[in-house]
Amino acid sequence: MSATDDENRSLLIIYATETGNAQDAADYIARQCRRVAFRCRVIDIESFSLPDLLSEAIVIFVVSTTGSGVEPRSMTPFWKNLLRGDLPPDTFEDLYFSVFGLGDTAYEKFCWAAKKLSRRLESLGASELYERGEGDEQHPLGIDGTLLPWTEGLLNTLLDISPLPPGIEIKPANVLPSTRVSLNPTSQTTLESSADPLKSDTLYHTATVKANDRITAEDWYQDVRHFEIDFDDDIQYDPGDVAIIHPSASSTDVDSFLFTMSWTDSADQPFEIEQVMHDQSLPDHLPKITTLRDLFTRFLDFNAVPRRSFFQYLRHFTSDDLEREKLDEFLLPEGAEELFEYCYRVRRTIHEVLSEFQHVKIPKDYIFDVFPAIRPREFSIASSIKKHPHQIHLCVAIVKYRTKLKIPRKGICTSYLSTLKAGDTIRVGIKKGLLKLPDDNDTPVICVGPGTGIAPMRSVIEQRTASGAHANTLYFGCRSEPKDHHYGSEWQAYLEKQQLQYRAAFSRDSPEGQKRTYVQDLIRQDSEDIWKLVGEHKGWVLISGSSNKMPAAVKEAVAFAAEKHGGLSADQAKEYVQSMIKEGRLIEECWS
């Protein structure tokens, strides 16, 4: 490397994420790099521009994948600039980089965004410092199963490039890291006069809940809600855009947790948060003055399934030898299976772990290191501003499921939403989505949205019909027509007005012994009409829902139509579908 010694011992870690996992991974990498005396900066790719990359010597990218191989929304502006055709092939000849991707091998395009980033940087002259890592949520230890050994390999490479300065030693991995904050007591008056960053953020709007209605049958296993939210502001959004909501834990759960931690008496004592380690992130919209009760209500998640690093911290904070021995067993390589069975298979929460390890006393200054942040959640908007001015509608499945543990597992944000009543106020942000619509209303649009994937499709259809478009087709799929046929009466009304062609697959309503029917099966059945729409009339296909097997199956069904009725070979049909994607005529708004 041609960089100076000072540059060789400094590096930038850039993360791109939707859920926060990449941010947590970036924090972990920074902590480990600090062990070998490297100076790190951790930054969100959203606040980083392409020209800034020219002044960096070593950059580590931590990148999650959204939907079916798409980069996180926060990365899109950076990625578009990186794809510019006028960039010389030696643009980043002085840059050394490595990429760690986060993904799930259950999905078609595993770690696709990380792979694309690696290839593009190399094509622009950058040199890969250390081989790309690919974290897999399917690993028994989750992302940590790959992240931890990958980070050790990265450290060894960094030390080869720039050995430790004289007199500096590597800090052992089992040494307690420094805290990222210091909590300094302050007065109640100071707390009352302090600002709430979420309330003052102009990207968010104050809204009032108008409706929270269950739209699945009461005896159905899944609770899906339709929300209507009113805004005083003149909000604007397009089909495919998303609503951002910051959840809160229930007061009952918070009280129980504070009691478990023996923090009840100090729960409402105000303190000021002073950040000590600036290479470690803090939760979004965190106030400077707060209390433990507010932190564990709005910012720190005690109901999350803990990562392996959580148990690394706990071994430092227990006064019981048997507990420390058990924690050490979990952290041994041969203890991975036991940790998986104890924690990950049954989705045991941090609160439940701490209830069992009763001798653990976590110092308050370490709460931001031990507990993960409560992340804001994004939900596809299920309405059109043309039809519902000053309103946003949401279609949300309330996450609740059982494992071997007695208490059901719950999603923190959907649980929070489920408790909202008409008249409650919340802050809601609006963010651009991935979907687009053709400029010409006569262009056919085929919407495919099974389950709660119907949300952005409802927005599309409302927008299109409000604009006078009639060339609309919707493929919807669910398990049972009488149980979870989301917005079925609305689709029937559009059908009667000849504003929509509607096809629904009810997979569990098929007679016993008959093959189940899914949306891709209906598209294959309608292959002649599909080819007329996408081949002859250059129609668009919009896909929304789970990014597991459905999007790939739908694209295969479109290719089948091109082959059977378009006179194309199998390879040409696949290429046609790929050309639709490149032209922006086939768009996926999918999630894992």
Report the pLDDT averaged over residues 364-374: 96
Say whether 445 sits in a helix, a strand or coil: strand
Q: Return the closest-CA partner of residue 19 out of 530, 521, 531, 378.
A: 378
The dihedral built from the CA positions of residue 401, 402, 408 and 412, taken in this order, carries a sign that is: negative
Residue written as token pair 């006569």:
442
Say whether 477 sits in a helix, a strand or coil: strand
Quick one: pLDDT at residue 104? Answer: 84
Q: Which two tokens stand for residue 315?
A: 């071994």
Q: Using H for helix, E for strand and C for coil, what is the string for 534-571?
A: HHHCCCEEEEEEECCCHHHHHHHHHHHHHHHHHCCCHH
Q: Find the helix or strand (DSSP H, E) in which 337 lies.
A: helix 336-339
Bind-site residues for FAD: 347, 377-380, 411-414, 591
- What's the chain's Rg over C-alpha atoms? 26
Bind-site residues: 17-22, 64-67, 137, 347, 377-380, 411-414, 452, 507-508, 516-520, 591
Burial class (CB in 10 A: 0-12, 13-18, 19+), 346: middle
**Cα(80)–Cα(73) distance, rounded to whole angstroms?**
11
- Per-position b or e across 322-338, b if 16+ CB within 10 A of its CB: ebbebbeebbeeebbee
Quick one: pLDDT at residue 6? Answer: 56
Residue type, 96: Y
Least confident of 218-227, 456-465, 513-522: 513-522
Report the pLDDT averaged over residues 374-403: 96
Q: Are 83 and 77 in contact (CB under 8 A)?
A: no
Supply φ then ψ for residue 344, to 5 degrees: -80, -40
Average pLDDT, the chain: 94
Bind-site residues for FMN: 17-22, 64-67, 137
Q: Which two tokens stand for residue 206?
A: 């104050």
pLDDT tens-digit series, residues 412-438? 999 999 999 999 999 999 998 889 999
Quick one: pLDDT at residue 109? Answer: 81
pLDDT band at 4 (very low <50, low <70, confident <90, very high): very low
* Residue 275 or 104, more confident: 275
Quick one: pLDDT at residue 514? Answer: 84
Strand partners, 12: 41, 59
Report the pLDDT averaged over residues 111-119: 94
Residue 489 has pLDDT above 90, yes or no: yes
Instruction: Determine what percent of the chain falls in helix, strand and coil, rounding each to the nearest 5.
Output: 40, 20, 40
Bind-site residues for NADP(+): 452, 507-508, 516-520
Quick one: pLDDT at residue 305? Answer: 94
Quick one: pLDDT at residue 441? Answer: 95
Residue type, 540: W
Say whether 300 sits in a helix, a strand or coil: strand
Output the DSSP codes for 453-472. GHHHHHHHHHHHHHTT---E
Q: Are 402 and 477 in contact (CB under 8 A)?
A: no
